[in-house]
Chain A
Amino acid sequence: MELKEIILASLMMRQLRKQYDVIIVGSGAGGAPIAHTIASLRSDSAILVLEKGPLLREQQTNRKSDFSRDEMLAVGSERKITIDGVTNRGSSLYSSHIEPDINEEPHVYVNHFGQEKATIEGYTAQCIGGGTQLYGGVSLRYSPTDFQLRSFNEGRDVLNRDTLDHIFDWPISYQDLEPYYEQAEHLIGINGTAEFQEKPEAQFNYQKPLDPHPISNVVKQGFDSLGLRGYRTPLAVITEDHQPSSRRVSTKDVVNTGFVNRYGDPMGFKSNTWVSLLKPIADKENVDILTNSSAFQINQKNGVVTGLKIYDGLGEIRDLELAPNGVLVVACSAIESNRLLMLSAGEDQEFSQRINRNQLLGRYFQTHAFGGAETRLNRRFDKSKSLDSDWACDIGHTQKFLEENRLWAGGTIYNNTSDQAMPLSLLRNHWGKDLDSVWQGFEEDSSLWGKRLNQFFDQDFGTRLSISFMANQIPQSQNRIYLHSRIRDKWNLPVAVFRKEWHEADRRVMNTFAELCSNILERGIEELDYKGEVQSGGVYQGDEGNRLANHLLGGAIFGDDPEVSVLDPNCRAWNFDNLYVTDGSFMPTSGGGNPTLTIQANSFRVADHIVKRL
């Protein structure tokens, strides 16, 4: 234990090599699978994983874990937005301890009325493991149709031509990705069940799920009553010993905690990419992991990347060099990867000509069409004893459902078991606020103190249950990421701006799924003879276009045709020899489920391709 700790610490401090064969920028879902694959297969390739944020460790690496079961770590103390020129300057800002400080590294969201706001929604997490340190771990595969939505909608009269022109089939099929889904599930460590998933001919690699939380029975009964077939939501949390990452589970009880979504896991059971993929290779001779260091410029010559410029952990500029035949992988999560490409284009005209040949870089930025339904039951449960979700259902992926409801694309439904399980999360998410407005509902509900506060706990603590859907969002060319002309970050570099608006077809998807979600809850409540009022909706109401569900997708989409894509089918930038982008940016459509497992599976696929060329 102690020894391992020392090895890891010194590894992070040792001298860098003069050249690397592979440099991976970003250590999350898109980056880590590449490092893991190459390190496992090629002991002669020098690999550098570069990460902007810190290394935060779980107990197995360091007994004093940098994470805790502590509500103040998920949403900390208040700060004020101090950025000049945004309309929410002076507003409160809350974030987790591993999200960047948006005063120093802002993202700007432009809403429908052209107002600019600083937002935390466009970040996942800034640390080794990226978003997978904070994620809920819902690890769904996309359905076969999700890969071919253009073909699926040709000949149907659901979308008009204009809309359809911006929808592109993926250059790979579900079958192409299937072996990599299997590999990802195996190496990452996921629990769940396979039966009743609408993914034909599939092998799944799941550990056994924990017993479902009793409150989830409402959802199960709702499914049954409507004739829907549920499966246990695949979750990236190990429930048994996990051989590929040498993690052990002492008792199942300790795994079963509500401190999953928005928390780093001090116990290391949550399968973030540090514990599952990077730590197992971290002490290999040919692997360096450089934390707290950010890339800001890619250097190229004649379309061959030669290296990059970074700010190191002390804020000093360094040059990193690629060996001849080396490869650069960019996986900073979509907004930041697009930004890095744009910053590089700003410094180098040839880079710009190559990356911007079709003017598509930054376009087709997407998240998901998402929302759900919520109820308050007249029974109380201790929701702190549960993982993020128990039951999921693929009805929304079936041909029949899509035809009956005239939907252009489908999605997955799953319940949220642990949300608002803890007292502070119940209060600060009151009235269902997003990341930019935590505590706002509590403040607006200004009589919530004294006796009413007691009543609130009586009614709401341990009684709330919600169910969500995650469905495809229409890709639109004007939904895009670009550089701000004036606002700069702490390194004096232009920050990223994004625009994202819903399409009519998104509203239809959200309405249909929200109604189904509410039916499920209502039926479940009825079956169990509970009482509860159900509310539902998509996220498009109000000025909430910036809500991203932490799913940052598109901007550098891949495809067969260099005229309408930024990356080739192997996620290599067209017109570059050795520049790959493997985070969520590559997706031309957002998929009918949470994206991370697909990002990981695709990275394993790209890694196989890269290994062959090294």
Chain B
Amino acid sequence: MPASGKTSPKRRVSRRKLLKGSLYSLISSYLVPNHFLWAAADPTITFNNNVNISKCSTDEQVILNLIRRSLTPTALPLAHSYNGLWQGDVRSQIATGWSLPLIGKGYIEKPIDRNTVTFIFKANGDASEVYLSGSPTDDQPIQMHQLNYLGATKPYYYVSLNIPFGQIHRYKFIVNGTSIVDPNSYIRKRVNGFEWSVFYTDAYQGLVTLNEAEAIFLDSIVSAICPFQLANTNVNFGQTNYIDKILSRQEHHHLINYKICLPMMHQALSQQTVSVELIADYLKAMESGEPNHWDYQRYNSPKHFLNLLRRHSVEGSFSHPKYGGNRDFAGWRYLEQQYGFDWKRFTEQPFGTERNYFG
């Protein structure tokens, strides 16, 4: 069934708003505009500074676990290249490179409000001096520690910082006087003409991969896929933010799907008043028909993209808010309201009521 051309009454659709550095914050809602400027540009990012950040001790077992998982050599040079897409990039040789730097659990104080972020660098060869510098340190280099393993020093360098939830930062390593981006980490951005490695802490609410226009549009699609609504409010469940986050790290390989398909969908839908019903019609066509303006040369299966959207939307509704979705636990609160799901009982304080579990 193709998307019908009938006009539907405008409906209120909740929508994301950029709240920088806020923690699991509530979101207000907007009317979806008829159309808006489509921009291919990257999102603009305002980096945090070093307020509330402190150096802390590193858990050496965590370092070892991370090295084994992500930095030990592999005889399969393209195992993580996304079918060759990253050929030639060192990141194609390591598993879960997206988990560098490690956004770990923070020191346990109540309320739990920060991550311990662990940076790690593997030097080629010997006798390096390695520093970390960037927005978390106010661009002051801090020296990284060298790993001692089974009684010998090894060319791995690490340092950990406690950083509040919901922040984004840029950083570099300075190796023997030369500054370089983290060769293994996924996110990189140009700032004032220079390339930086970038990371964000749990529940960060700003955009990293999608630009604002894409995010606004995606928000309306997601609300058609997951028409969940909390009683008496119109809060945004944060699925779009979840998707933006997962596309920057774990499922970076799917970013291209969004970059190709969202513009096609937008082109088809921006002609008319965008309502939830209209979007639903279009999604129906993606599921089992021929959606308007679909360029099959560029992307041969609208259904495949719909499936991706569906999985990402439900994950963004119901995964822990640290992943960026389920904002303010809206997804779990919805299940509580509808079905008596007692999520607070198994959830750490201050969000839930379980005193013995630290998250």
Binding site for B on A (CB under 8 A): 8-10, 12-16, 53-57, 59, 62-66, 68-72, 76-78, 80, 82, 90, 101, 103-104, 250-251, 253-254, 257-259, 266-267, 291-292, 311-315, 380, 382, 384-385, 422-424, 427, 439, 442-443, 446-451, 453-454, 457-458, 461-462, 488-492
A291 touches B116 (CB 8 A): no
Q: CA of A35 to CA of B203 in the docked complex: distance in angstroms?
A: 42
Interface-centre pick from A65, A66, A82, A250 (highest chain B CB count, 10 A): A82
A65 touches B358 (CB 8 A): yes
**Top 5 A-B pairs, shortest CB-CB distance:** A315-B72, A54-B65, A77-B250, A15-B151, A292-B68
Given A64-B358, A313-B67, 5 other A-B residues pairs in contact with their CB atoms under 8 A: A103-B95, A104-B79, A292-B68, A453-B225, A457-B335
Q: A10 contacts which chain B residues (CB < 8 A)?
A: 60
Q: CA of A385 to CA of B347 in the docked complex: distance in angstroms?
A: 12
What are 5 residue pairs bridging A and B, where the CB atoms are less than 8 Å apart in the complex?
A8-B61, A54-B61, A104-B74, A254-B354, A448-B310
B338 touches A82 (CB 8 A): no
B30 at the interface (CB under 8 A from A): no
Q: CA of A8 to CA of B59 in the docked complex: distance in angstroms?
A: 11
Q: CA of A447 to CA of B307 in the docked complex: distance in angstroms?
A: 10
Give, as a whole number of angstroms, the nearest-CB distance from B147 to chain A: 8
Closest A-chain residue to B76, C-beta based?
A: A490
Question: Which one, A13, A76, A424, A491, contacts B250 given CB within 8 A?
Answer: A76
Give, as a whole number of angstroms, the nearest-CB distance from B65 to chain A: 4
Closest B-chain residue to A258, C-beta based?
A: B346
Give, as a whole number of angstroms, the nearest-CB distance from A409 to chain B: 39
Q: CA of A246 to CA of B149 in the docked complex: distance in angstroms?
A: 30
Q: A448 contacts which chain B residues (CB < 8 A)?
A: 310
Give, as a whole number of angstroms, the nearest-CB distance from B60 to chain A: 5
B64 touches A292 (CB 8 A): yes
A64 touches B78 (CB 8 A): no
B306 at the interface (CB under 8 A from A): yes
Contact status of A16 and B75, CB under 8 A, knowing A9-B61, A254-B356, A443-B307: no
From B173-181, B262-270, B290-298, B312-320, the one touching the partner chain is B312-320
State the interface size on chain B (CB cutoff 8 A).
77
B75 touches A490 (CB 8 A): yes
Contact status of A54 and B64, CB under 8 A, knowing A259-B346, A454-B228: yes
Q: CA of A253 to CA of B347 in the docked complex: distance in angstroms?
A: 13
Q: CA of A406 to CA of B96 in the docked complex: distance in angstroms?
A: 51
B82 at the interface (CB under 8 A from A): yes
B80 touches A103 (CB 8 A): yes
Question: Which one, A13, A77, A80, A314, contacts B72 given CB within 8 A?
Answer: A314
B95 touches A453 (CB 8 A): no
A55 touches B358 (CB 8 A): no
B227 at the interface (CB under 8 A from A): yes
From B19-27, B100-108, B208-216, B232-240, the one touching the partner chain is B100-108
Contact status of A382 and B342, CB under 8 A, knowing A64-B106, A488-B75: yes
Q: A423 contacts which chain B residues (CB < 8 A)?
A: 314, 317-318, 331, 335, 341
A72 touches B314 (CB 8 A): no
Q: B69 contacts which chain A residues (CB < 8 A)?
A: 54, 101
B217 at the interface (CB under 8 A from A): no
Q: B227 contacts which chain A residues (CB < 8 A)?
A: 450-451, 453-454
A63 touches B150 (CB 8 A): no
A71 touches B80 (CB 8 A): no
Q: CA of A26 to CA of B106 in the docked complex: distance in angstroms?
A: 30
B280 at the interface (CB under 8 A from A): yes
B357 touches A69 (CB 8 A): yes
B314 touches A427 (CB 8 A): yes
Closest A-chain residue to B156, C-beta based?
A: A314
B154 touches A380 (CB 8 A): no
Give, as a whole number of angstroms, the nearest-CB distance from A371 to chain B: 27
A450 touches B225 (CB 8 A): yes
Kindly identify, within residues 312 to 353 of chain B, every residue whose CB is under 8 Å from any CB belonging to chain A: 313-315, 317-320, 323, 331, 335, 338-343, 345-347
